[in-house]
Structure 1
Amino acid sequence: MLRNVIAWFIKNPIAVNLLMLFLLIGGALSFLSINKQLLPLEPNQQIEIIVEYPGASAAEVKIGVTEKIENALQGLPEVRRMVGLSNKELARVRLTLSDDSDAQQLLARVKREIDALSTLPSGIERPVIEYIPPRHTVMFLALYGSADQKNLKMAAAKLQRELLLLPEVQYVDHDSGRDFEVSIEVDPDALRRYGLTMTQLSERINAYSINQTGGFIRNEQGEITVRMENQAYRSGEFATIPVLTLPSGATVLLGEVATVNDTLADGAFFASFDGKPARIFQISAAPEQDIAVVSEAVKRYLATHSASLEAGLTATAWLDFNYYVEGRLDMMMENLLAGALLVFVVLSLFLRPRIAMWVMAGIPISYLGTMMLLPMESVSVTLNLMSMFGFILVLGIVVDDAIVVSESVYHECESAGYQHASVIKGVEKVSVATVFGVLTTVTAFLPLLFVEGESRELFRSIGFVVVFAMLFSIIESKLILPAHLAAIGPKKRVTPVIDKLRHTIAVGMQSFIRGVYEPVLRALLPKRWPVVSAFLALFMVAMGMLSGGHVKWIGDARVPHDFPSIQLRMESTASEAMTVEAIRAFEQTVLDVDKSLASQYGQGMVAHTAVILDGPQNAELYVKLVDDEARKLDTFALAKLWRQALPNMPGLKEYRIQETLDGDPESRDIQINVVGEAPLQVDAAAKQLEHKLNALSAVYDVTNSQSNMDIEVRLALNEMGQNLGLTPEMLMSQVTTAIYGIEVQRVLRDSFEVKVMLKYPQDYRAQLHQLDNIYIHLDDGTELLFTDVANYQLIQAPTEIRSDNGRQNVVLMASVDPLLADPDDISDLLEQSILAELSAEFPGLTFNLNGELKEQQGRMSRQAVLFLLSLFGIYALLAIPLRSYKKPLLILSVLPFCFVGAVFGHWIMGLGMSVMSLFGVIAALGVAVNDALILLVAHSKPGSRIVQVASQRFMAITLTSLTTFIGLLPLMFETDLQAHMVIPMAVSLAFGVIASSFATLFMLPVLLKSAAVKHNKSTIAAANFDLG
């Protein structure tokens, strides 16, 4: 069957060329249209429910809102995780959906469940329920300048509206800051002078500020609307509302008892860019969008509309992710082309140039064929760092079977003449071995398609590229390559320089084989146990180097960030002004360090800084670094200098520097959930655990979600208040009015929703002692001071209450420096010692260890199972063509030396081993199996001698391994910071194939000789294949 297909294509070169053109053109068109990303987007679908509860404490929000929402949504099968956060005046519940769930259908169900809740407090705002789809961040844009906050807010809203009008732009997010407000600050003395209450003022405002339709007059002329238009919109219009008519007939206006201003609402907000007031925008793209298209559209808009901005304002795209995408992909493409060129040079030194050229043609054919399939819906792989690395990974591998085929055809044609029959026979002799060799490589990579967890898409990108490229290499080497080899014919033209060089190399190779390799191999063949022991010793040395720390295990590769950030958290007693002062001091420290570096290196490392306040006690500083080529220090070194210089500001609780590309604030190396029913016990255990984590030298940036406690004023009626008929609801209503105020109306003005707030002056509301001066009104109109009818006490209360899947918990998070300690050792220490001791001390609590380290361990366990299944698949694929249960075990014996080579390679390159390194080892397995299979099937020929067979296959094995190693050399020595993620995998593959080839050429022949002595030679020759 296969012979007939090969023969048909050899005799029909037009069909061959059309197939080749189809793959090349189809792949090229796909390449031009495929989406480009820095890293693949993880399909993390979420639904978020946000409910504002003005004036409520965190505990009140938890009991009144968060718990009720969690109970209503508990048990939804599509929800993988539900996290609730209860803060002062705000409830937030985030649902993480399972990958196969219908997000829109679930969103509709969540809305129905929330709408059906009848027990939510009456004072809450309408719940905001949003689906948060996976998005690509395209750029950060800053609108900054000398405008005041009101004008900056209006300019930011206009900019957002205009950006969303661009057809290429779907998502534009920014913190709009404090809302516009009509502030009516009432003089308490004036109220008492005129005998008015806040409630009466509210009623008078609502009575006069109104737009209302009174109906319609219908007659034979038509329909006439009867309507009152008297709505006030601005402070001046509200100030003229009459609130009281005196006995003298004089009218008291609102402006006479209150100060009315158009202002911004109370609240914490601060944002700056390079030290100037700013609004920071995040432009995002949908998964199916190309971020390059979105980026270019935004930059074109900025270029043409900057002049229309208000005087003193500037808009700049200060952080463009497309720049990094293009730069990183260009870097990977340069490495790909450099590797391909090196592979071609190596092939040209051993093969005729035209043969080498057609062998190399397998690379673009396989690659573009792969590119054609990647955008398919069932695959959905984009062009990103990981998929590009997949292409580099198989650069030397895809030509392996083409080398074997071309070498077999060349020798057959040289001995039997250049004719179609010779080409067919040459291909047929190696077809089964090469096909199954490729399939073993495919099987080795299949586990990457089944990786679970947050890094799933990273490995799927590599896996699909390798699997498709290898399958297309079968098509190219069995159908396309033979037809082109048949057209080459005998060599006619002499190229003295190239021929002389190739002849010299061939002679030198043969001299090495005859004079060195064969004598050494003959000497080793009788010494089975010493040889096996020596190779086993190498394996033990590699294990010892890893376990002894000579080659460190670092888990996931740490990739330095191009725009690190510093998040700080203040004590609950800190004011907004103190938080702003602290984050600006951090910003100045970063700039001072940069000035020092500029004087030292002649070039600063910081391009821009941006500051955003996230609540009264939280702030974040973003640092945009200069381009890679101008950076003398990496992000890790900069972060170390910043840590040494950052000041200890008054009220500072903790800070964290996000210095790695995969640094997710919600997912750190260590995440420990402390769960229990007694809040005080939970808090005590969490504080003790925080102290123990800080005592570990390799652990840094420890954060505690429960570390901030707020001062809460707890009110209670006294005996007199109860006797006068006051109820807690009556007391709280009047106190709330005095402290928070009354929301009288909401009006729509200039496309903004504006609250009309009736309240006491700020200095009256900001002082605790003013609580004593609040007048409480009884039903009969009597006024009494607060202290006459009630009392209060000060207690501590949490500023945030967190729950995970409905259970209240405290979360401690921390990072681990893998250069100071093995992350697995830290994880074991926590589980077996620290958490065990705390569990014994606090028997009512549960300590759940999560985070990236735990995720890595779980992922490694799952991958180990898949790897074992992959090994069984490789064994099956070898057993079928070899027709033996035992002979595949001989091939598998060389596989551990892929790991040996990887360990020694990391030691030589001065690298720590990571998860990516292990995937490089898996990639090397396919090459190792292919090389061992070449030797074994050749030895299966009746009458073959092991030394003769090994000598004949020395060139093919060396060449396949050499092309793989050479193709990866440019990437292994790449200096780009983002290449740090993939370099360990390249090192593992490159050195792994070298070590496995060494085992194949020296250890495997010894094992084959031993097997031949023990067993009848005829049983070993069951699979009668010949590689020529």
Structure 2
Amino acid sequence: MEKLYEILLTRSLLFIILIFTLSVLGVYTFLTIEQREIPETEVNLVNVTTAWPGADKADVETNVTNLIESEIFGVEGLEDVSSVSQDDVSVITLQLADGSNPDDVLNDVNNVVAGLGGDLPENAAEPEVESLSNNFPLLSYQIHSDDRQNLDGARNGLEKLEQEVSQMDGVDSVTLKGYEDYKYEIQLDWDAMAENQLNPNEIMNEIELSLNPVILGQDTEGDETIRLSFKDREPAEVLGQVRVGDEDIPLDEVAEVAEVQDVPRDIVEFEGAPAVSFTVFLAPGEDVPSVSEEVESVVDDGFGELPGDIAVDNISSERENVEDIFVGLYTSLAIALLAVIVGTSLGLSWFGSVTVMVTVFLSVLIGLAPIPWMGVDLNQISVIGLIIALGILVDDSIVVNDNIERRFAVGDRRMDAVYNGVKEVAPSVIASTLAIVFTFSPLLLLSGANGDFIKALPSILISTMIVSTVLALTFVPAVRYLIVKKKVPKHPGLIGRAFTWCSNLYADRILPKIIKRPLLAFLAVLIVAVLSVGLIRFTPFEFFPEADRSEVTLDLIFDEGQTIEKTHEDAQELLSYLTEEMDHVESASLFTGEGLPNLFGASLEQSGPNTAQIALEIDKEKMSASETIDEYQSRVREEFPEATIFMETIIQGPPASAPVTVELFEEDLDTLNNEVDALTELLESKGAIVTSNIGSQVQTMNYSIDYAALEEEDVSVSQVKNELNMISEGIPIQEIIMDGDSRETNLKYSDEYTIYNVDIVKPGEGAPETYPLSDFVNIEETKDTPSIQHSNGDRTAELQVYADDEEMVNQTIADFEKGLGGTTELTVGGESSDQTDFFVEIGILFSVILVLVYLVIAIEFNSIVMPLITVFSIFLAFSGGIIGLFVTQTPISFLGIMGMVSLSGIVVRNAVVLIDFIEARRRAGEFDIHQAIFESGRVRFKPIALTTFTSIIALVPVALSGDVLFEPLAVTVIAGLAFSTILSLIATPALYYLYYRLRYRK
């Protein structure tokens, strides 16, 4: 090793140039890495959607959902399979297991679905398999006008702009919401058909034949090939020429072709005026600022061509959010860098301080280079990781540099001073770095959205810590060898004398008292630490805090079966109330139907004609988003009891589920619906708000065929079903292309015809026989839910429960479960359960962390007992973190817990450095045990105090920034470091001395 160092040191200049060259990679990475507000979380979901027009939900479940599910269960790599069967459609959602290859699973699902084509009902469409993405909104605009016709006139231009933007690099998709869709209906006159002895099937066949394209191909004349083409008229004109029946009766004599408005999926308003929303979604793995700038340029040009009576407002810009956040974070990073520079200069010579800071800066840059290959982008979490890294990266460089200076001070030659200075501390530096790496590595295994959210923090810290250690052991000695400072200051640093005085005080006054009564000193520290842990009961808790943003959203859920027009009218009334009561509302958007296009972290799990969402832009200087919710949510609920209302704001973390969820499993649908109703009523009677994924039961007209009557009159089932279709939604036929748009086309009876004035026509040898359709159909009024849900093949219903008293909710559910029948099963989950699962998982990971840290230190000291001395400092750090959170009344949160875990790797370093020096002196025989302990305190006090101080001041800007997401992490680390450092300076020597006396019986 000494020979290797001689080679390195004699080529110091070349090595330093190499290190600076490598740092260019980090600069390039920093300038080119993708930027976003929060980490990108992977959505491992696949949807299999199968349309079956006209089919009842029960038929959809039996003939489509069950069939596809039974085959999909054989696909490997799936963790969960859920489905919803509704009238006309089946949707099966597949959740991929962690570690599975999404492409392989998607390919297997496609193969399974492709093999089912012949087994599905004849009228069912082919299943569509789609891999779901995050659909992260990049930009969203409200395009509005006082006159709806102005918006309709701009539709073609906006749809062309939608297509243009969706094809841009970095764009996943574009959503244009708020326009009404139209379809064609061929409305048959049943009486005219009967008079001309026509039936719907022959009319439908003639229409489809008339609309089919003419395929002419090509012809040859001699040696020349001639292309043949056919130019047809517009479909509407073609329909006017259709002749039906043996008598070639014009279609318009038995039917009317009408363009009708389809049931709207969305109704959008902005500031009370009709509007359409234009939202651009970012593709996965793309950079927010650069993609946004390109999109904004194209969109601005497109909007510039709109008529002057149409206004455009940008209601969401992720680029602006990212820039605002990064300005604050970069400011904190710059302040932290400056603070570390000042901190190191307090106890190091100016040359040593510059060497340390250059080493830290290079460590950060080179450590950034592999980050993109670790699946990490530049976001809030990764930047805060850099700030934390700045505070702990100085440790290695300070320890190595300080020991080199110490060797110079005792008179070593240049080569010996550098080599011996590194050699003495290298084992402890490497061991403490491995402890930190092993501390953060298990966090990479954290599952789900929480794991994706925090992944950047351990990635940054692991990468930069490894680089920092390598540079501390190579770059620092190379610089100290190349530039020799012959005269080492006796008291280096701006307050070097103070450090020297404190070191002597600690070694000569404090340590002797500790060693005199080691057990008492340790017990005093232990009692203080244990009592501190009890403060956790008096510290607030908030898993993920609300962001300090100006957006507040309201989810509105009205009674099932309500039309979208009625829902919009009710939502308008509620919005008017809000704008009158709240003087700090700056703008308001209303989305009725499917709701907001995934903006502001708000989305409706179950959307439809009875749902709406309101997005409020508030002046947060007058009243914050959380204060607005606290002030107005209960008032709005009291004023509008007919709606289920939730007021929310953006949460700085992954999407959360309801506080409590209840899943009921029961094969009998009537029993399942009854149990859902009973539990819902019970919970609501206790003040809880309850929603369900199957919806509430709605008024239903249940049509059934009288098969005995069919058999008596010898009428076919298909005739009855066909007539029922014709008097309701109709039968879809070939789509019609109008002005470049594809329009659905249905064949149905005119609205004047019902089950009571349509006859079944039975052809015979003479005049056809007719029977009233109502003779073969029974009608029963009932109530039923709009969908059937499955979870892994079992019928289920899930309730989402919201209440202030979760303990009451859980007790109510437990009491209800005791009265369930033998065939019904119940499971409880939700956000509270998810948080419990997280703490269980983090507890397991932390146990692994403790074992890894213990093993590293055990190998370092070749002892199975001594590592326990250093691990005790982790407990002290936890206690200190809790004290910090309690004193500042900062909530214990997800990142607060991450701060606790981070401390477990950081704080052991001080104990390792201290004990390593004692062991080295004891083994060398230079001092007795007392002198070795005292001398270790004298030599190591300054590096320990200096590294702790620089780590703390690096995080002070974050702790004081007011950022509710990162404040708990900063407070935890600052308080834990301070508390652990102070008390471990007492506990570590005391424990070591007790260990020594027991080990050697002295």
TM-score relative to the length of structure 1? 0.87
1:557-568 correspondence to structure 2 within 5 Å: 557-559=545-547, 563-568=551-556
Secondary structure of the residue that 1:754 maps to in structure 2? Answer: strand
Cα 1:268–1:879 shift into 2, 3 Å: closer
Alpha-carbon shift at residue 531 of structure 1 (Å): 2.9
1:942-957 correspondence to structure 2 within 5 Å: 942=922, 943=927, 944-957=931-944
Q: Deviations over 1:457-512 (max 9, x none)?
A: 22321111111111111122111112223355448899xxxx99956x34444555
- AA aligned opposite 2:239: F
Q: What does residue 753 of structure 1 align with?
A: 742
- Mapped pair 1:533 → 2:523: yes
1:44-59 correspondence to structure 2 within 5 Å: 44-59=43-58
- Mapped pair 1:611 → 2:591: yes
- AA aligned opposite 1:619: T
Q: What does residue 799 of structure 2 align with?
A: 812
Alpha-carbon shift at residue 133 of structure 1 (Å): 4.2
Runs of 5+ unmatched residues, structure 1 = 598-603, 1019-1028
Q: Deviations over 1:533-578 (max 9, x none)?
A: 33222233233222xx301344455556664433332222322222
Bigger mean CA deviation after superposition, 854-863 or 918-927: 854-863
Secondary structure of the residue that 1:14 maps to in structure 2? Answer: helix
Alpha-carbon shift at residue 584 of structure 1 (Å): 2.7
Cα 1:700–1:429 shift into 2, 3 Å: farther
Q: What does residue 729 of structure 1 align with?
A: 718
Q: What does residue 483 of structure 1 align with?
A: 478
- AA aligned opposite 1:713: N
Q: What does residue 259 of structure 2 align with?
A: 262
Structure 1: distance between partners of 2:506 and 2:105:
70
1:792 pairs with 771, 779, 782, which one? 779
Secondary structure of the residue that 1:646 maps to in structure 2? Answer: helix
- Mapped pair 1:580 → 2:562: no
Q: What does residue 714 of structure 1 align with?
A: 703
Structure 2: distance between partners of 1:525 and 1:210:
99
Q: What does residue 634 of structure 2 align with?
A: 644
Q: What does residue 11 of structure 1 align with?
A: 10
- AA aligned opposite 1:611: F
Given that 2:171 and 2:283 are in contact with CA atoms closer than 8 Å, whether structure 1 keeps it comes out as no
Q: What does residue 991 of structure 2 align with?
A: 1007
Structure 2: distance between partners of 1:558 and 1:834:
29
Q: What does residue 271 of structure 1 align with?
A: 268
1:100-499 correspondence to structure 2 within 5 Å: 100-117=99-116, 118-133=118-133, 136-145=136-145, 146-148=147-149, 151=153, 153-175=155-177, 179-188=181-190, 191=193, 196-206=198-208, 208-209=210-211, 211-213=213-215, 220=222, 232-234=234-236, 238-239=239-240, 241-242=242-243, 253-255=250-252, 257-309=254-306, 312-314=309-311, 317-376=314-373, 379-416=374-411, 419-490=414-485
Given that 1:776 and 1:786 are in contact with CA atoms closer than 8 Å, whether structure 2 keeps it comes out as yes
- AA aligned opposite 1:970: P
Alpha-carbon shift at residue 680 of structure 1 (Å): 2.7
1:925 pairs with 904, 907, 911, which one? 904
Structure 1: distance between partners of 2:763 and 2:266:
40
Q: What does residue 600 of structure 2 align with?
A: none
Given that 2:179 and 2:266 are in contact with CA atoms closer than 8 Å, whether structure 1 keeps it comes out as yes
Runs of 5+ unmatched residues, structure 2 = 595-606
1:634-673 correspondence to structure 2 within 5 Å: 634-646=624-636, 652=642, 654-661=644-651, 667-673=657-663
Secondary structure of the residue that 2:674 maps to in structure 1? Answer: helix
Structure 2: distance between partners of 1:299 and 1:310:
19
Alpha-carbon shift at residue 716 of structure 1 (Å): 2.9
Secondary structure of the residue that 1:772 maps to in structure 2? Answer: coil
Secondary structure of the residue that 2:516 maps to in structure 1? Answer: coil
Structure 1: distance between partners of 2:289 and 2:29:
16
Cα 1:221–1:316 shift into 2, 3 Å: farther
Structure 2: distance between partners of 1:229 and 1:515:
101
Bigger mean CA deviation after superposition, 719-728 or 896-905: 719-728
Alpha-carbon shift at residue 208 of structure 1 (Å): 4.8
Structure 1: distance between partners of 2:275 and 2:445:
45
Given that 2:866 and 2:995 are in contact with CA atoms closer than 8 Å, whether structure 1 keeps it comes out as no
Alpha-carbon shift at residue 37 of structure 1 (Å): 1.9
Structure 1: distance between partners of 2:741 and 2:826:
47
Given that 2:491 and 2:497 are in contact with CA atoms closer than 8 Å, whether structure 1 keeps it comes out as no
Alpha-carbon shift at residue 189 of structure 1 (Å): 5.4
Alpha-carbon shift at residue 799 of structure 1 (Å): 0.5
Structure 2: distance between partners of 1:867 and 1:812:
34
Given that 1:685 and 1:838 are in contact with CA atoms closer than 8 Å, whether structure 2 keeps it comes out as no
Q: What does residue 76 of structure 2 align with?
A: 77
Q: What does residue 851 of structure 1 align with?
A: 830
Aligned alpha-carbon RMSD (Å) = 3.4
- Mapped pair 1:774 → 2:758: yes
Alpha-carbon shift at residue 414 of structure 1 (Å): 2.4
Structure 2: distance between partners of 1:577 and 1:28:
56
Given that 2:633 and 2:646 are in contact with CA atoms closer than 8 Å, whether structure 1 keeps it comes out as no
Given that 1:152 and 1:279 are in contact with CA atoms closer than 8 Å, whether structure 2 keeps it comes out as no
Bigger mean CA deviation after superposition, 181-190 or 89-98: 181-190
Alpha-carbon shift at residue 433 of structure 1 (Å): 1.6
Q: Deviations over 1:436-463 (max 9, x none)?
A: 1222111211211111122222232111
Cα 1:96–1:986 shift into 2, 3 Å: same
1:964 pairs with 948, 951, 956, which one? 951
Cα 1:56–1:353 shift into 2, 3 Å: same
Matched residues, number: 976
Secondary structure of the residue that 2:591 maps to in structure 1? Answer: strand
- AA aligned opposite 2:729: Y
Q: Deviations over 1:106-150 (max 9, x none)?
A: 334323322332232222233322233455432334444444475
Structure 1: distance between partners of 2:339 and 2:241:
84
Structure 2: distance between partners of 1:142 and 1:478:
58
Secondary structure of the residue that 1:184 maps to in structure 2? Answer: strand
Secondary structure of the residue that 1:394 maps to in structure 2? Answer: helix
Aligned-residue identity in percent: 19
Structure 1: distance between partners of 2:102 and 2:732:
36
Given that 2:178 and 2:266 are in contact with CA atoms closer than 8 Å, whether structure 1 keeps it comes out as no
Structure 2: distance between partners of 1:215 and 1:363:
73
Given that 1:567 and 1:657 are in contact with CA atoms closer than 8 Å, whether structure 2 keeps it comes out as yes
Cα 1:544–1:702 shift into 2, 3 Å: farther
- AA aligned opposite 2:538: H
Cα 1:885–1:222 shift into 2, 3 Å: closer
Q: What does residue 601 of structure 1 align with?
A: none
Given that 1:717 and 1:789 are in contact with CA atoms closer than 8 Å, whether structure 2 keeps it comes out as yes
Alpha-carbon shift at residue 53 of structure 1 (Å): 2.1
Structure 2: distance between partners of 1:724 and 1:502:
108
Structure 1: distance between partners of 2:242 and 2:306:
36
Cα 1:339–1:695 shift into 2, 3 Å: farther
Given that 1:670 and 1:849 are in contact with CA atoms closer than 8 Å, whether structure 2 keeps it comes out as yes
